[in-house]
Every structure is written in structure tokens, then in C-alpha cells.
Structure 1
Amino acid sequence: MKRLHMHISVEDLAQSIKFYTALFGMEPTKLKEDYAQWLVDEPAVNLAISSGRDKKGLNHMGLQVDSDEEVQELEERLQAAGVAGEKQKEAVCCYAKSNKYWVQDPQGIIWENYHTMEQAEFFGGDSFTGGSGCCQPSFADGAKWSTSKCS
């Protein structure tokens, strides 16, 4: 199943958990001291929220898929359309280990296309991000990627 993924950086995690629990009519699928996630079947959504980030609001969008082959298909379609991106293999972020392909849309919204292989015990540790809220690449000078250590 493909799920639309959204990650939102929030000021008050407890208040946001209460809101999204009411909105989706279910408790979080994953709950940590700085992070919550809902895997909703109808509509097929993966909403993640986290606290302690520099910027509040929409952090990034994405597509969660069931296999690395589907990530590869997304990468090939985007490259065929002239969209450059960045691969991440076995990235540990958001309490999960995933293979990813990151791109940026024309409006500057970052999209994370990924397949999660297993859960992780810590928020992050991959090769991307600063205080942005997730272990994602950040754009500097247009299409160039800048990298820093995930905290």
C-alpha cells in the first residue's frame, strides 16, 4: 500500500497528539518522547509530528512504499522528468531504518520517497539535516545538496 506521508514540526507535542488522535479517531501507531506517528488506512496517510525542531509547520511531504523496487521506480520517473534527487541507503531517521530518494518540487517543498525496512530505537543518525526536523537533505545554492549530521 502506498501512503501519503507528511511530517509536521510542532511546538507542543502533547497538544498536537490530542488533536491528531481526535482527527484520525485513533491513538498514534508510534509514540516517543519527541515524536508521534499515525499510520491511517482510510485515507492512506502516514502523518508524523516531532518537537524540538527549529522551524514549525510542514517539514516535508513524501510517499511511503512497500519495496525498494517501488522507490527505484519513483526515482526513475522523476529523473526521466528532469528532477534530480538524492539517494539514502539504510538511513536511520524518525525511529526507522529506510531506503530513500529525496527530491524538491518547484515550490521548494522537499519530498521523501521511501521504503522502511525496520524500526530503530533512536530518532536519527544519518548523514543529512540540521535543525530542520527530520533527517533530510537541505538545498543550498539551488539544486545543490548540503549535508550535515543528523542530531
Structure 2
Amino acid sequence: MKRFHVHVSVKDLTQSIGFYSKLFGADPSVIKQDYAKWMLEDPRINFAISQRGHAVGLNHLGFQVDSEPELKELREQVALADIAALEQTGAACCYAKSDKYWVEDPQGIAWETFHSLGSIPVFGEDEAEQVADSACCVPLAQQPMDKPAAACCVPNEKPAASKATACCG
């Protein structure tokens, strides 16, 4: 079963946790110094916020799936539609290890489709000394192309251009 995923970059994490907890009528299932996540059942959504020095607002959207076969099915759907995708296996991101792939819509919004393999004790591979400069969880269009790609969240590189469309190239 799929779960819709939204990740928002926020200015003040504590204030935002208070707001979204009241809005959702539930406390976050994960709270870290720079991140919080709600795994809601109604509506079925993985809603995450982070305060990591990036532009405030929508960071990326996506779908979380419950199994590797579901991930493969959605990836094949994207491939059949000739939508360029960037795959990441065993990515360390947002306090979780996941297999995932990324696409970019015509507006430049990054979409992540992922299957979580387990939790990890750190945000990702962009540890403390790199946090301010990290490309982690930043939409592709907003990332500085002169910085190295982090393995965490939205990658620096764009998906390879597809044959049928230039929307992601």
C-alpha cells in the first residue's frame, strides 16, 4: 500500500512541530534536533519537516511503499512512460535507510518514491560538518551544481533525459 510523502523545509522546527501537531491532532512519530515526521493513517501520509538551512517551503513530494515489489512496480511504470529517473539503493536519508528513485515534474518539483529498509541514528551521509552545504532534501532546481552530490535525499544530479520528454532532463 502506498503512503503519500511530503517534506517541508521550515524556519523554526519547534514552532512548526507545535503547529503540525495541533493541525494533525497527533504528535510526531520521530523527533530529532533538525527533523520531525508524522506517519498518519487518515489520511495515509508520511509528513516530514526539517530545519537544515535550506529555503523554507516545499522540499519534495513522493510515495512511500511497503515492499520492494511495490517499488519495482512503480519504477517500471515510470520507465514505460519514458520518464527519466535517478535510482539510489541503500540511501541514508532522513534518519532512515531506503531504496528509492527520483523524478522531477515539469515544474521542477522533485518526487521521491521509496521503500524504507530501517532507521539509522543520523540524518544521512551529509554529517554535521557538511549540513550547511548539503544537497540533502533540496529540490534539484534549487541545488548549486558546483557542490558535490550528497547521497541523502534529493540528489544533486538530475535524472538522465528520457527519449520521449525533456521534463526531467
| Superposed pair shares fold, TM > 0.5 | yes
Distance 1:59 1:125 in 2: 18
Aligned length: 143
Residue 17 (structure 1) aligned with residue 17 (structure 2)? yes
> What does 1:42-53 correspond to in 2, within 5 Å?
42-53=42-53
RMSD: 2.2
What is residue 148 of structure 1 aligned with on the other side?
149
AA matched with 1:31 = I
Give the superposition deviation at 1:133. Answer: 4.6
TM-score by length of 1: 0.86
- The higher radius of gyration belongs to 2
Q: Distance in 2 between matches of 1:119 and 1:67?
A: 15
CA 1:132 to 1:15, structure 2 compared with 1: closer, same or farther past 3 Å? farther
SS for the counterpart of 2:83 is coil
Residue identity opposite 2:82 in structure 1: G
Provide the C-alpha distance between the structure 2 equivalents of 1:19 and 1:137, rounded to a whole number of angstroms.
24
Q: 1:143 corresponds to which residue?
A: none
Counting strand residues as a fraction of each chain, which structure ranks higher? Answer: 1
Partner of 1:77: 77
Q: Which runs of 5+ in 2 are unaligned?
A: 153-169
How do 1:46-125 residues align onto structure 2 when only pairs under 5 Å count?
A: 46-125=46-125
Q: Is the 8 A contact 1:50 1:133 kept in 2?
A: no
- 1:59/1:87 CA distance change after superposition, 3 Å: same
* Counterpart-to-counterpart distance in 1, 2:84 and 2:114: 16
Q: How does 1:125-136 map to 2 (within 5 A)?
A: 125=125, 131-134=134-137
Q: Which AA in structure 2 matches 1:12?
A: D
Unaligned 5+ residue runs, structure 1?
Answer: 141-145
AA partner of residue 60 (structure 2): H
Q: Between 37-46 and 64-73, report the one with greater CA deviation.
A: 64-73
Partners in 1 of 2:26 and 2:93 — Cα distance? Answer: 24
Identity of aligned residues (%): 48
Q: How far apart are the structure 2 equivalents of 1:24 and 1:104? A: 28
